[in-house]
Amino acid sequence: MSNATTIAIIGVAGKREQSIATLFAAKYHVLLFDHDQEILSGICHQIRSSGKATDVEAMQCPADASWEADIIILMGYNHADESISKKIKRVATRKIVIVFAAGTGGELLLATSSAWQQLLPYSRLINVLDAGAGAAGELSKQLIMESNDEDALKTGEALFTSVGFNIQTLFTAFNH
Amino acid sequence: MQTPFENIPVFFTGYNYWLSCSMFQQLFKSIREKVTATPEELELCTSFFIPKKLRKRQLLLQEGDVCKYNAFIEKGILRSYTIDEKGNEHIVQFALEGWWITDLASFLSGSLSTYTIEAIEDAELLVLTPEAREDLMERVPMFERYQRILLQNAYIALQARIAASLTETAEEKYTKMVTVYPGIVQRVPQHMIASYLGLTPETLSRVRRQISLRQ
């Protein structure tokens, strides 16, 4: 995974989203977006003040962030929420889109996968479940990644491993 | 390696939708200039391309990496250059709207590239990976004809450039560039033009001075 890789993180309102943003900003060129501009400015300021070398930028538009990005991470969005997918769909073609599932459970993961694939039919989707027992609202270091795209799964695993996560992958060899 | 794209059904969302997308305007124009293409074929092509924005001075390819993109330029200008042992840059290609740019040897063979490709202005690109390009040419034979014609033209241009670099004077090189590629000369810094023409910046300045005195 090249350090020149640009990652768009869409949705940074929660603790776990901010943890992810902080970890990736230390290693990659990161573009952040959130509907709440105040939260967005706050997290950017916090990351830049951390004292570590960081490359992070607040974006005004999720489509612009996704357009520049090589990999898109969606966090905090319900799969029934089409608003974000409509905004990024045409600039997310053939890109890896990593979606953090809300909630837990394997069946939820697969149902969510199917829904997101319909919303972003030309994107290479990876669905992520937090497998650990982190404190409420916080991200553990144990993640399960599911996808029907083997190559995307390898890339996603390498990406998150590079910032300290333990990844279990699940390749589902059927179209969602 | 399995990807989900082999079995994905084609969704014809309406050719007018794609037509109105400025993201593909230059590509459609380029294709239609060279081959006959139906609206359905053009729409089919769109799902194979990765839309990518680059800011000024961002790299599409770094020397030493494997080139994984063949990029079509919808907006902006890119340059491809190599650096010699003494650290001097040698620009081998510019590409502006409607042009393609890549390191073809690295792109097709997976070898390490000896070129760097950089955006001179903010750019909007449509990029193909090697796998997507092969897949596209198989599923849309029109696109393979288009690529063949591009490569034929590129080879002819390359031969002409080699001959010109061996035979033309500095003034002839610059004059030809202004005549044939005025868009590049207007938008690219002079020292980059000099590098592309194989001249020092001082020589290029002298040539431009001589031309302007004569006019």
Whether the predicted pLDDT of B150 surpasses 80: yes
Q: pLDDT digit string (tens) for B90-133?
A: 999 999 999 999 999 999 999 999 999 999 999 999 999 999 99
Q: pLDDT digit string (tens) for A134-143?
A: 555 667 889 9
B55 falls within a domain: yes
B131 falls within a domain: yes
What is chain B's mean pLDDT, rounded? 90
Domain that holds residue B29: 14-167
Beta bridge partners of A9: A32, A73
Write the DSSP string, B65-130: SBP--EEEEEES-EEEEEE-TTS-EEEEEEE-TT-EE--HHHHHH-PBPS-EEEESS-EEEEEE-H
pLDDT at position B7: 41
Preferred mutation among A122, A149, A175 to probe B, highest tally of B CBs within 10 A: A122
Residue B53 distance to chain A (closest CA, Å): 5
pLDDT at position A109: 61
Is residue B50 within 8 angstroms of chain A, CB to CB? yes
B185 falls within a domain: no
Q: Between chains, do A90 and B21 touch, taking CB under 8 Å as contact?
A: yes
Whether the predicted pLDDT of A133 surpasses 60: no
> What tokens appear for B95 in the block?
């590409």
Q: What is the ipTM of this complex?
A: 0.88
pLDDT at position A66: 97
B188 falls within a domain: no
Residues of chain A found within 8 Å of residue B55, distances taken between Cβ atoms: 68
Residues of chain B found within 8 Å of residue A94, distances taken between Cβ atoms: 47-50, 129, 132
B211 falls within a domain: no
Distance CA B213, CA B208 (A): 9
Is residue A89 within 8 angstroms of chain B, CB to CB? no
- Give the Cα-Cα-Cα angle A90, A128, B6 (nearest 5 degrees): 50
Residue A138 distance to chain B (closest CA, Å): 32
Are B121 and B77 spatial neighbours (Cβ–Cβ below 8 Å)?
yes
Question: What is the set of domains in chain A, with CATH numbers?
Answer: 6-171 (3.40.50.720)
B6 falls within a domain: no
Is residue B55 within 8 angstroms of chain A, CB to CB? yes
> What tokens appear for B21 in the block?
């997308």
Residue B30 distance to chain A (closest CA, Å): 21
Residue B54 distance to chain A (closest CA, Å): 6
Q: Between chains, do A122 and B8 touch, taking CB under 8 Å as contact?
A: yes
B18 falls within a domain: yes
Whether the predicted pLDDT of B15 surpasses 80: no
In this prediction, residue B8 has a pLDDT band, given cuts at 50, 70 and 90, of very low
Q: Name the residue facing B3 among A70, A117, A151 (closest C-beta).
A: A151
Q: What's the CATH code of the domain at B117?
A: 2.60.120.10
How many structural domains is chain B composed of?
1
Whether the predicted pLDDT of B20 surpasses 50: no
Q: pLDDT digit string (tens) for A134-170?
A: 555 667 889 999 999 999 999 999 999 999 999 999 9
In this prediction, residue B207 has a pLDDT band, given cuts at 50, 70 and 90, of very high
B139 falls within a domain: yes
Find the helix or strand (DSSP H, E) in which A25 lies. helix A15-25
CB pairs under 8 A between A and B: 53
pTM for the whole structure = 0.89
